[in-house]
Each structure stands twice: as C-alpha cells, then as structure tokens.
Amino acid sequence: MAALGWLTPRRRSATARSVLAGEASAEAARKTALTPGTDAAADTDTAVDADLHADLHADIEADLRAVYEDTLDEIPEPEFPVPGDDLAAAFFDLDNTVMQGAAIFHFGRGLYKREFFRRRELARFAWQQAWFRLAGVEDPNHMQDARDSALSIVKGHKVSELMAIGEEIYDEYMAERIWPGTRALAQAHLDAGQKVWLVTAAPVETATIIARRLGLTGALGTVAESVDGVYTGRLVGEPLHGPAKAEAVRALAAAEALDLERCAAYSDSHNDIPMLSLVGHPYAINPDTKLRKHARAHDWRLRDYRTGRKAVKVGVPAAAGVGAIAGGAAAAIALHRRRK
C-alpha cells in the first residue's frame, strides 16, 4: 500500500523543519565549496586536460556554429549569464536535471555491491528507481521512503568511509548519466565567473562529490546527522525537498550576498517551483507535465534534453553562445575518453 502513496503528491509549505534543513544545508555547502581560483582538475582524475579542452573547443565550435546560427539570429536577447556579475549565481537541481535518474538510487546500488545490505533491499531500490524513471516526477513520500532506507543502511558508518565509497560509486553509476546539455548550461555560468551550486534532496556528501567532479562550486543537499564523524541515522531538519530547497537557496544567497533577482535556477520538477520562483531567471529542464504548464504560464524558459532533436533545437539559451555549447560538449567528450 505504501507504493500507492507515491502516486499522490502532496503540496507542502515551508515549515520550521524545512527552514532548519535549508540553513543546515547552506552551512554545509559553504564549508565544502571550492574557493575562487581553485583548480578542480588538479584534484580529480576526471578533470578535463586544458590542452585537450582547447583543441576540442576549437573543433566543436566550428561544427556547431552552422547548426545554431539560425537559432541565434532568430532569438535576440540580452547576454546571459552576464560576465563578471558577482552578485549572481546559478542553482541546479540534480535528479533528472543534471543527471538521468536519482542519485540516491545509484548510491544504493553501489552500497549493495559492497554488501552494505541484502538482495531484498536492492529489489526495493530497483523498484523505486524504475518508478522514478517511468513517472518522470519526484514525489515527497516516494523520495522520503528511499532516504529512510538509505539512512538505516549508513547508520553507524563513518562519514569519511561513505565519502570514499561515494567517489567510487560516482565513477561506476553516475558519470555516464550526466546530461551534456545541462552541463553546458552550468559551464556557461562558470565561464561568466559565477558560482554554480547543485541543489538536491540527495545526501549533501554525495551531492558534493558530484559537484566537484563536474567542476562546480559546491552543493546543497540533505544533511544527515553525525556525531564524532559517525552517522546517527537521523536527519538535520528534513530532506531537502520542495520548500526546503528554496530555504537552502535563500540562506546561501544571504550568506554569499547574492541578488536572487540576478540569479538563475534550473529544475525538472514541479516540486521545485518554490526554488525556481525565488530567482529572476528560472529554467524548466526536462520538465514534468505540471512544471511545463507552470513554466509556460509564467513565461519561463524551457529546455528538453530527453530527445536528440529537441536538444539541438532548444539546447541552450541563445545568449550563452556557441562557445559555451562547444565548451560543454568538449568537456563531456574529454571526460568520456578519460574513463575508457
């Protein structure tokens, strides 16, 4: 009967627990963020080699210019993101926006491989992931059920142990699931000198690993309580979902002295409308039906990378330029080659 509850999403407003979750996530994100000038490539074996990136950038830019020149001519708009605007930042949802599927489910698969739990729990994770992929939406009850399972599994384990395993799991299950189109959008903000944050209900440790591997600034995620570096099996506040995401973005923006009207946010889910509504530049990426309807009603920009044809037609904002497209494509190709 629990599965039936996943089919009936419930709208929630911000609560004291969601505010607590958001503030805890913002604090954790700032502690683990890459500092300005930090070269993420020097710290990870998946970083893009500078020379390879430059060569690929030149080749791909020439190829893509012909494809996009008509679109660029047809949609005149102010340059965005604005280079050098240090009062702006970008916030990206993770599941089905930056990455195909849900990070928590891929993490569960990796833990099963390492015998953290039995086949029975794996079957549950598999069913939850299948439902998520078929439905294409996030339901708070569904995601809560998955996180409760994960919390019970990691209880008593060291944070450092799970972080090390998370690095391995990213390579095994997540790296090849990154949407190149969304990655290019994030790169456009980075190239403009802006900070880029993931915002997700996944554990903040997992989200931070993904952010670092992609060269992003950092991540806002669900904060699991730990004492002396060991997980207690409880959360700080509640999962970073729906209104809690908006509270996390609000808290981080205040701490970073950002102007939310100049910031951008990207998501696939109607559950993230509170977060998207906070910023001056909201984008619906691979949107579910409710978010697509809301985005059209409020004149928000839409991007869909689930089919190649749509990705070519509306892949990135025109003002991001072919250079940003080529840069993201070059990064994706280089990352792929390094993993072979």
Rounded distance, CA 168 to CA 153, Å?
18
Active site residues: 93, 95
The span from the CA of 182 to the CA of 283, in Å, is: 11
**How is residue 192 written in tokens?**
């403009």
Q: State how far Cα 291 lies from the chain centre.
A: 17
Identify the three-state secondary structure at position 235: strand
Q: What is the CA radius of gyration of the chain?
A: 19
What is the Cα–Cα distance from 340 to 329, expressed in whole angstroms? Answer: 17
Q: With beta carbons less than 8 A apart as the criterion, state whether 150 and 220 touch.
A: no
Residue 294 near residue 276 (C-beta atoms within 8 A): no
Contact partners, residue 191, CB within 8 Å, separation at least 6: 83, 323, 324, 327
